[in-house]
Amino acid sequence: MSADPAEDRIEAYLGEIAALLTGPRGHRRRIIDELRDGVREAAADHLAAGVPAGHAADAAIEQFGPPEAVAAAFAGELAIGYARRTLILLLCTGPIVGVCWLLALGLTPWRTGMVVLLAVIPALPVVAAAVVLAARTIATTGSLVRWLPETGPGPALTATAVVAVLAILVDLAVAGRYLWTRPGVSVAAALALTASGFRILACLVVLHRLRSWRGRVS
């Protein structure tokens, strides 16, 4: 408790909102900081307008609305933040898992060429489609929206789900083809299978969470 009851009231109000927010920690912290500045400014305006000091904070809080309504108003922004973070993480795992499989298959793209690479890993076009979709969604939900059409929360969540499904399909296809055509599992293959397994598990968690996000946004 601080020496200022009005400040305690504002912090309690913000605490209720914070408890209702779901999403990346950085986004939630920024939202609460912006709300804190806004509520304090509104309280100062009420105080300047003649509202008694003991009621200015309450008037400002009433002006902003119930915690549930305020938290719901930020659901779209937080959903986009979650989609962007997830897509960036999936893009970062791509090269790691890809290198593991290249080592397991004994492929060197700069030597074997693209035709051989496609013959061994037919799922490469799917990988390219997932990368393009993820990159486009990240670009159209960030600072580039000043030059590109903006992607809203719903389409951003859909794109994230599609990329996650494509990642699962690619991992299953590559792992299945390897296990079907190779007599044994090398150390490099075991590493690749483990990497794909972890990514599949992560994508399944993402798909589960996306169902909850759709409910919040809708």
High-pLDDT (> 70) share of the chain, % = 90
Q: In 3D, which of 34, 76, 38 has the Cα closest to residue 57?
A: 38
Give the model confidence (pLDDT) of 116-138 as tens digits: 666 667 788 999 999 999 999 99
Where exactly are the structural domains of the chain? 5-73, 75-217
Q: For every one of its 218 residues, what pLDDT tens digit does the chain have, with 9 covering 90 and above?
A: 556 788 889 999 999 999 999 888 888 999 999 999 999 999 999 989 888 877 888 999 999 999 999 999 999 999 999 999 999 999 999 999 999 988 888 877 656 666 666 666 778 899 999 999 999 999 998 766 566 788 899 999 999 999 999 999 999 999 998 888 887 788 999 999 999 999 999 999 999 999 989 888 87
Token reading at 165? 């499904």
